A and B are shown apart, each in its own frame.
Chain A
Amino acid sequence: MSEHASRRAAPRSPMAAPRSFLWTRRIFLTLLTAFVVLPVYVMVSSSLKPLEDVSGKFEWIPSGLTLRPYVDIWETVPLADYFVNSIVVAGAATVFSVAVAIFAAYAVSRYTFRGKRVFTVTVLSTQMFPGILFLLPLFLIYVNIGNATGIALFGSREGLILTYLTFSLPFSIWMLTGYFDSIPRELDEAAKVDGCGPISALFRVIVPAASPGIIAVAVYAFMTAWGEVLFASVMTNDTTRTLAVGLQGYATQNDVYWNQVMAASLVVSVPVVVGFLLLQRYLVAGLTAGAVK
């Protein structure tokens, strides 16, 4: 983190901190760290154990290490296929969601028009719908669109992309609107004086200025699509299955290959965790601009 951010986030005077505060902080943060790290440690250590070891009593320190699970995970289930499906679905959902959100946020931030409040309230309130409420109807809509037009939405990647991009849309629009609001209007007014139309003002002035917010929204959209389970379990078939569902394939009737489950969990987590941790400061910045006003 830059010097700027740490200065801003450290407003309290350190001289005033008494012992009780320092000790509470130390104990609390230690316990919390242990709580957070525990599953990560189990995931990493168990993914390096042979199958006998993860089937017997748990061992804190692995007695034998092997990379075998990382080879086997690709054989036990078609993990590579699931990976491709997840990347295509989450990637496409992210690109479209961000694009749609940019236009919508531009309208909400820069224009006054009738129905604006209805729009923002409606879009935000969709966040509170229980997924289960529109799972069943959406399932029927996709099946019936398929029957009527031949466009396969049910069971296809396209259907899942369409669904996921809408999931991240409300939050994305809300956050980008906040971000766009924080960009001075004089900037796009100046561009318009120079002969830019509203759309080119958006892309030449606002989008570059709001790029941290746009990155944050993209991270959010990708994570939403990458981690969704409910719709993935209903709306996919054998060829379009995503990681969210595919990971359950390591459990057979008789046995669970726990070492492979852990190895696969780690492999599917690495892209999002690394991406998120690299970009998280944008998310905090975006939240600050968008949410906390």
Chain B
Amino acid sequence: MTETAVAHPTEPAVRKATPGEARAPRRSGRRRIALPYLLLLPALLLELLVHLVPMLMGIVMSFKELTQFYIRNWGEAPWSGLDNYTVAIDFDAPVGQALLKSFLTTCLFTLLSVGLCWFLGTAAAIFLQENFRGRGFLRTLFLVPYALPVYAAVITWAFMFQRDNGLINHVLHDQLGIGDSPAFWLIGDNAFYTLLVVSVWKGWPFAFLTVMAGLQNIPRDMYEAAALDGAGVWKQIRHITLPSLRSVNQVLVLVLFLWTFNDFNTPFVLFGKAAPESADLISLHIYQSSFQTWNFGTGSAMSVLLLLFLLVVTGVYLLLTSRGRKTSDV
């Protein structure tokens, strides 16, 4: 940051710091040094304002007793040490219990959703790799869930999962005759599967898009060489396509994991502010417990714990996958 300040010749501090005889040549040299920082400045300021400062503030807030009385003047909220954290991770008390339940639900949900999204996206991309009639159309069609605004798509699914007038029960109960009475999909234990279906529907096209881009970088002669050696399509997929996608998958799975784990929009639009316990994802859970009680301190502590968890998982993941890559690729 100091270089940025030095670049302005009018600033008095700079004058003092720069010896007179060397000023002219050094200034132009320093301007060149300063240029990249100037170019980055807008991005840096925005990141600071919207991401980094709020994050640091969130960490500070998690050590305060920040209830609704202090919203307008959060600095004056009394310090509370680790109280918020003890409340959040006291798994014998209701708050901690609910948080743990929500966390475990989110883990299971993320595992299933990321796995299915990855599978559907990869399979679709591989099946559309080769040209056939209708390929271009399908490729465009498959991107529609990604292009639809989340709320429009999810609200449509909410309609389909309605008990009395939805499509799902019409098919399952009226047409296929499953179950004695139409099931509830948006409350109770079924809500988990509802959320999973909607999340996969919404998320798999991103995997498809990414894998499709990755496939374009596989040189054609690798397939030709394999075909000459007598390898069929399935063998080619297993021994050429999938291994070549490794570096794409490394990023893709991580991004899918982070997005799914932090997903707020899908359960929020699907269930409204009160998600059923079976589908109470962690982001929505923290949001609810913060804005229902206006206890931002505990909410922040929960968010910090969530961030720590994500950091550890990401770190371990990158460490493991990078090591695997080094030994096999290089």
List chain A positions with a Cβ less than 8 A from chain B: 1, 6, 8-14, 16-18, 20-21, 24-25, 28-29, 32-33, 35-40, 42-43, 46, 54-58, 99-101, 103-104, 106-108, 111, 113, 116, 119, 122-123, 126-138, 140-141, 143-144, 147, 162-163, 165-167, 169-170, 173, 198, 223, 226-230, 233-234, 243-244, 247-248, 258, 261-262, 265-266, 268-269, 272-273, 276-277, 280, 283-284, 287-288, 291-292
| In the assembled complex, B177 has its CB within 8 A of some CB on chain A | no
Partner of B218, one of A11, A99, A113, A129: A11
| In the assembled complex, B242 has its CB within 8 A of some CB on chain A | no
| In the assembled complex, B166 has its CB within 8 A of some CB on chain A | yes
Q: How far is the CA of A135 from the CA of B264 in the complex (A)?
A: 12
B151–A11 touching, CB < 8 Å: no
Known: A247-B152, A276-B147, A277-B140. A130 touches B307 (CB 8 A): yes
A131–B264 touching, CB < 8 Å: yes
Q: Which residues of B contact A99 (CB under 8 A)?
A: 42
| In the assembled complex, B287 has its CB within 8 A of some CB on chain A | yes
1/0 per residue, CB under 8 A from A, across B142-168: the answer is: 111111111111011101101011110
B147–A277 touching, CB < 8 Å: yes
Interface centre among B42, B128, B129, B218 (most CB of A within 10 A): B42
Partner of B50, one of A104, A136, A138: A138
| In the assembled complex, B61 has its CB within 8 A of some CB on chain A | yes
A133–B58 touching, CB < 8 Å: yes
Q: How far is the CA of A163 from the CA of B46 in the complex (A)?
A: 9
Partner of B149, one of A106, A111, A268: A268
Q: Which of B32-78 contact A (CB under 8 A)?
A: 33, 35-37, 39-40, 42-44, 46-47, 49-55, 57-58, 61, 71-74
| In the assembled complex, B324 has its CB within 8 A of some CB on chain A | no
List chain B positions with a Cβ less than 8 A from chain A: 33, 35-37, 39-40, 42-44, 46-47, 49-55, 57-58, 61, 71-74, 120, 123-124, 127-132, 135-136, 138-153, 155-157, 159-160, 162, 164-167, 169-170, 174, 201, 209-210, 212-220, 223-224, 227, 232-234, 236, 247-248, 251, 255, 258, 261-262, 264-265, 268-269, 282-283, 286-287, 290-291, 296, 299-300, 303-304, 306-307, 310-311, 314
Query: Distance in Å from the Cβ of A165 to the closest Cβ of chain B?
Result: 7
Which chain B residue shows the least CB distance to A265? B152
Q: How far is the CA of A132 from the CA of B299 in the complex (A)?
A: 9
- The majority secondary structure among interface residues of chain B is helix
B201–A39 touching, CB < 8 Å: yes
Which chain A residue shows the least CB distance to B214? A292
A103–B233 touching, CB < 8 Å: no
B165–A57 touching, CB < 8 Å: yes
A36–B156 touching, CB < 8 Å: no
Known: A13-B227, A130-B262, A229-B268. A136 touches B47 (CB 8 A): no
B42–A100 touching, CB < 8 Å: yes
Interface centre among A10, A140, A265, A273 (most CB of B within 10 A): A140
Which chain A residue shows the least CB distance to B142? A36
A28–B123 touching, CB < 8 Å: yes
Known: A10-B130, A58-B170. A144 touches B74 (CB 8 A): yes
Which chain B residue shows the least CB distance to A274? B147
Partner of B129, one of A9, A140, A262, A280: A9
Query: Distance in Å from the Cβ of B281 to the closest Cβ of chain A?
Result: 10
B167–A58 touching, CB < 8 Å: yes
Q: How far is the CA of A202 from the CA of B170 in the complex (A)?
A: 58
Known: A17-B130, A101-B43, A162-B46. A133 touches B307 (CB 8 A): yes
Q: Which residues of A contact B129 (CB under 8 A)?
A: 9-12
Known: A104-B39, A244-B149. A32 touches B286 (CB 8 A): no
Q: How far is the CA of A116 from the CA of B290 in the complex (A)?
A: 37
A128–B141 touching, CB < 8 Å: no
Q: Which residues of B contact A244 (CB under 8 A)?
A: 149-151
Known: A140-B71, A247-B155. A18 touches B233 (CB 8 A): yes
Query: Distance in Å from the Cβ of A27 to the closest Cβ of chain B?
Result: 10
Q: How far is the CA of A16 from the CA of B145 in the complex (A)?
A: 32
Q: Which residues of A contact B127 (CB under 8 A)?
A: 24-25, 28-29
Partner of A128, one of B33, B71, B149, B258: B258
Q: Which residues of A contact B248 (CB under 8 A)?
A: 291-292
Partner of A103, one of B43, B153, B311: B43
Q: Which residues of B contact A234 (CB under 8 A)?
A: 291
Q: How far is the CA of A132 from the CA of B310 in the complex (A)?
A: 13
Partner of B152, one of A16, A111, A268, A291: A268
A273–B144 touching, CB < 8 Å: yes
B39–A258 touching, CB < 8 Å: no
Subset of 23 A-B contacts with CB under 8 Å: A10-B131, A12-B236, A13-B223, A16-B227, A28-B127, A35-B201, A42-B160, A100-B46, A107-B37, A128-B311, A129-B307, A130-B286, A140-B74, A162-B50, A227-B150, A227-B265, A229-B265, A244-B150, A247-B155, A287-B210, A288-B216, A291-B210, A291-B251
A138–B54 touching, CB < 8 Å: yes
Q: How far is the CA of A42 from the CA of B168 in the complex (A)?
A: 11
Q: Which residues of B contact A32 (CB under 8 A)?
A: 120, 124, 142
Q: Which residues of A contact B136 (CB under 8 A)?
A: 1, 6
Partner of B55, one of A58, A111, A137: A137
